[in-house]
Amino acid sequence: MKDATMNKILNALEKLLQHHNINNISVLSICKECGIVPQTFYNHFHDKYDLIAWSFKKDVLMSLKNFPKDYSVQSIKALLDSLKSRKSFYKKVYIDDDQHYVDNYTHRLNVQLAERIVRLYSWNHKMNINEQLIIQYHMYGIMRVFKLWLFGCMDITTDQLAKFQYKETPKFLIDALNEHVFNNSDFDDIF
């Protein structure tokens, strides 16, 4: 029931985005669109950015369920192709003047997920500051390039982007990703 309500709220946002800029969409307008009271919205999300982040997490998780067992150019391409299928939605939410909110949510998701996977692969050892900085730097760069690709600011194919991303992924992260099998619990407690 919880997922059904959350999907209903997301569908309302997507419908509103067909005619309105994200700046002009309020939580109240989302609630009116899907026929719920604001308290129901706030039982699931802090704000519209949290809703967008949940959508991103959901899309990534759905992609990762079909993720090949190895971290490779092919698996990155599969993930990019999946996210590309929602290109229209992401373009609409990333045009917000307050897009740093969306950036913060998606960056934090990627960093926390990568750190969790590295810790699991390394038998829960405490990550050193160098590993933490490398993950932060890598994830920030990947998300920035993803946005440029999404908006067509780079003349690059999905294959080229997947090859670049694989080549630039730190070895310790590749090793951890190759050992990891993704599941719903990967996203537990991530914002």
Helix axes 73-84, 158-168, angle to 10 degrees: 130
138 in the same domain as 148: yes
118 and 72 share one domain: yes
pLDDT of residue 63: 76
pLDDT value at position 191? 46
Same structural domain, 175 and 129: yes
Alpha-carbon distances, residue 125 vs 83, 103, 110, 128, 186 (angstroms): 32, 28, 19, 9, 17
Total domains in the chain come to 2
Instruction: List, for residues 105-154, the tens digit of each pLDDT value.
Output: 788 888 988 898 888 887 767 888 999 999 999 999 998 898 888 888 98
Structural domain boundaries enclosing 39? 1-45
| Per-residue pLDDT at 1 exceeds 90 | no
Question: Are 117 and 138 contacting, i.e. CB atoms less than 8 angstroms apart?
Answer: no
- Please check whether residues 8 and 71 belong to one and the same domain: no
Q: Are residues 92 and 25 in the same domain?
A: no
95 with 36, same domain?
Answer: no
* 96 and 143 housed in the same domain: yes
Is residue 109 domain-shared with residue 181, that is, in the same domain? Answer: yes
Q: pLDDT confidence of 99, banded at 50, 70, 90? A: low
- If one counts every other C-beta atom within 10 angstroms of the C-beta of residue 135, the result is 22
Do 112 and 36 have their domain in common? no
pTM: predicted TM-score of the whole model, two decimal places: 0.78
pLDDT, tens only, 26-82: 999 999 999 999 999 999 999 998 899 889 888 887 777 766 668 889 888 988 888
- In this predicted structure, what is the pLDDT of residue 40? 96
pLDDT tens-digit readout, 135-148: 999 999 998 898 88
Query: Phi then psi for 97, rounded to 5 degrees?
Result: -60, -25
Asked if 31 and 37 touch (Cβ cutoff 8 Å), the reply is yes
Nearest to 110 by CA among 137, 149, 78: 137
pLDDT computed for residue 183 by the predictor:
60
Specify whether 142 is located in the same domain as 68.
Answer: yes
**Same-domain status, 36 and 58:** no
Are 66 and 145 members of one domain? yes
Q: What pLDDT sits at residue 162?
A: 94
The CATH code of the domain that includes 35 is 1.10.10.60
